[in-house]
Amino acid sequence: MTITVTTPAATRSWTPVCPLDRLEPDRGVAALIDGVQVALFRTADGLFALDNLDPVGGAYVLSRGIVGSRGGVPTVASPLHKQVYDLRTGICLDLPGVAVPRHEVRCRDGLVEVRLRQEG
């Protein structure tokens, strides 16, 4: 499933994406927010948002990755080459120096909202 949301450029703060119950636990979903593909995850540890682009494979697939944990750290494994990323930070746990940009995410009044990272 992909959710598409567009917000006016002047209000680049929190963008409502979907109701919380649309996110299945331990599964990812892709959202297109102002032209940026974001992978959203709901786990027992909370909500997480990363870019959907796998930096190793070069494809927009992280939302289809395998959600799990490594040493108590919530993770997603790329479905392409199986690199594992920390959902809290976006840092690759398998390849030093590789990371996926992360975005802020919250649930307010039952609605999942994302604030895209600022470029630059």
Q: pTM for this structure? A: 0.87
Residue 12 belongs to some domain of the structure: yes
Cα separation, 82 vs 73, in Å, equals 16
The CATH number assigned to the domain holding 92 equals 2.102.10.10
Whether 16 is in a domain gets the answer yes
Residue 96, domain member (yes or no): yes
In a domain, 119, yes or no: no
Q: Which of 40, 39, 9 is nearest to 23 (CA)?
A: 40
- Region for 43 from its dihedrals, namely left if φ exceeds 0, alpha if ψ lies in -120 to 50, beta otherwise: beta
DSSP code of residue 21: G
Range of the domain at 69: 2-112
Is residue 103 assigned to a domain?
Answer: yes
Q: What is the pLDDT of residues 48-85, one digit of tens each?
A: 999 999 999 999 999 999 999 999 999 999 999 999 99
Q: Is residue 120 part of a domain?
A: no
66 lies in some domain: yes
**Quick check: is 74 in a domain?**
yes
